Structure 1
Amino acid sequence: MKLLPNRRLVRFADVGSYSPYCICIRDDIIVIYIWSVTVKFNEYNNRNHVIWMNTDGIVTKRSLFSEIGWKRPCSIQNLESGLCVLYCLNCETTLHSIELLDAKSDKCDKLYCFKGIYGFNPQKNFECKGICVDKAGNILVSDYRHHSVYVLDKELKYKKTLFDARNGLDKPAAICIFNNHLWVADGNQIFIFNYECVGSS
């Protein structure tokens, strides 16, 4: 329950019978990504339910879509251009993918996917523990395997490496931007770097 300024009580929206896997908030819009997977005839089928609601708990939009395969959401960012999702590719490895979904589509159609850097196929080499977004809409990515944090543009194309092992990074994981600083969780320590927005793409 939530008490509104006019003293009226409202219920926060029911997000369904499955547990949310990730959540984000931007411009007073909360986005919740609910996911479940079933196995039939040795084939995975994942069910995706994305809910947009305001801070009063009122649902403003829902998207429901299914895909063949095992692709679990780990983190989401609500952008003007769509919904950026970090997925774990399967239940047996720690590999990841990043996709930009069309938030205007009822089925959250895929607009772009991250193609990798350094000439490595991300489906075989990309292990990411965190993403965040700067004010210009660039996506910042922690690359666990390559000990680095780099920037992708709004089409998920590599722009530049910000920090890497030369800056002390070893196992960069969760990242966020706060007060023009980039915070990076790395093993048992946290690095705080000055960060200026990489210009709009």
Structure 2
Amino acid sequence: MHPASAITKVREFSVYGVESVSHISLDQSGKLWISDNNENLIQTDQQGNQLQGDQLQRRIKTNGEDEGYHAVKQDGELVFTDRYKRVVNRITVNNYIVKFIKTGDWEPISVYSSHINGDILVGMVKGKKAKITRYNKTGDKILDIQKKNLIQRLYGEPHYITENQNGDICVSDNDKEAVVVVNKSGHYRFSYRGQQEKFLPQGICTDALGHILVCDFYDSSIHLLDQDGQFLFLLLKEQPGVSSPQCVCVDKDDNLYVGKNMHTTVTVYKYL
């Protein structure tokens, strides 16, 4: 499959209520939660129209910026981090915001909900330390993932988290300038550092075939890898109107949703 023929634009829509599209969380009904780099988090339909709930307008002021700080759980509830209060919040089915996970003296900056078993993965920082912590679906702590070995730290700034179909935890790390992958037990598997001298990974997701897709800020493209970290090809490289893809997600029909840095549009592609 050649990259020039591998991707087709399906549709594009503008998102109202945000200043950019920094992260996208998609629920089973096709509604999207979208955040920007200026602490705004909103829910929209597939045309970009902002939605409202019964008790809560679907617009939340957070302290998140350009990181994957929200995710949709298996039961449809949204979870999002509050790095200053050091908690992960959830929005109930009745649209109330409640504290879900307390992270102690660690600042939670990213979160992901497993499609395999409902576990919650939280990326956190404390000073120069960083880790991923696994919680079960009720918020009980299971595992800290922090070191590659006795000396080397795995993470610097785990900005975006995803999980592959084999249970691997894939992290886009700004500080390490790498995609860092561990298995479901937290044992180090590999790191991916791009194809050129400069690589700054942003949003990350996986698809039904186990591919890893990660945005590269410097290259204005999406790198597609296999589940063992082997580079396959670039998506959207030198495509008209595409500049600095910031975030990606894939729906159940293998549609690829792309948000771009400093733009308020979401573009949907077919690439498989």
TM-score, normalization by structure 2: 0.54
Aligned to 2:161: 76
Tell me, yes or no, if the aligned pair for 1:183 and 1:190 is still in contact at 8 Å.
Answer: no
The Cα shift of 1:173 comes to 0.9
Tell me, yes or no, if the aligned pair for 2:246 and 2:258 is still in contact at 8 Å.
Answer: yes
Identity %: 18
- Out of 127, 130, 137, the position equivalent to 1:48 is 130
Which structure has more relative contact order (CA 8 Å, sep 6+)? It is: 2
The Cα shift of 1:69 comes to 9.8
Q: Is 2:194 aligned against 1:194? A: no
Aligned to 2:178: 97
> For residue 102 of structure 1, what is the amino acid of its counterpart?
N
Q: Is 2:133 aligned against 1:59? A: no
**Using a 3 Å threshold, how does the CA distance of structure 1 residues 129 and 115 change in structure 2: closer, same or farther?**
closer
The Cα shift of 1:174 comes to 1.5
Unaligned runs of 5+ in 2: 1-88, 91-98
The Cα shift of 1:191 comes to 4.2
The Cα shift of 1:20 comes to 0.8
- Out of 107, 113, 118, the position equivalent to 1:25 is 113
- Name the count of aligned residue pairs: 168
Aligned to 1:168: 241
Q: Is 2:126 aligned against 1:36? A: yes
> For residue 255 of structure 2, what is the amino acid of its counterpart?
H
Aligned to 2:257: 183
Tell me, yes or no, if the aligned pair for 2:170 and 2:181 is still in contact at 8 Å.
Answer: yes
Give the Cα–Cα distance (whole angstroms) in 2 for the partners of residues 69 and 182 of structure 1.
Answer: 29
CA deviations on 1:36-56 (whole Å, 9 max, x unpaired) are: 23xxxxxxxx43333222222
CA deviations on 1:11-44 (whole Å, 9 max, x unpaired) are: 844322211121101221111122223xxxxxxx
Give the Cα–Cα distance (whole angstroms) in 1 for the partners of residues 199 and 156 of structure 2.
Answer: 14
Tell me, yes or no, if the aligned pair for 1:181 and 1:192 is still in contact at 8 Å.
Answer: no
Tell me, yes or no, if the aligned pair for 1:22 and 1:33 is still in contact at 8 Å.
Answer: yes
Worse-superposed segment, 50-59 or 132-141: 50-59
Worse-superposed segment, 137-146 or 51-60: 51-60
Q: Is 2:91 aligned against 1:16? A: no
Tell me, yes or no, if the aligned pair for 2:155 and 2:173 is still in contact at 8 Å.
Answer: no
Give the Cα–Cα distance (whole angstroms) in 1 for the partners of residues 220 and 132 of structure 2.
Answer: 31
CA deviations on 1:90-144 (whole Å, 9 max, x unpaired) are: 7xxxxx211112331xxx4421111422xx23xxx00222111112221111122
Give the Cα–Cα distance (whole angstroms) in 2 for the partners of residues 195 and 170 of structure 1.
Answer: 18
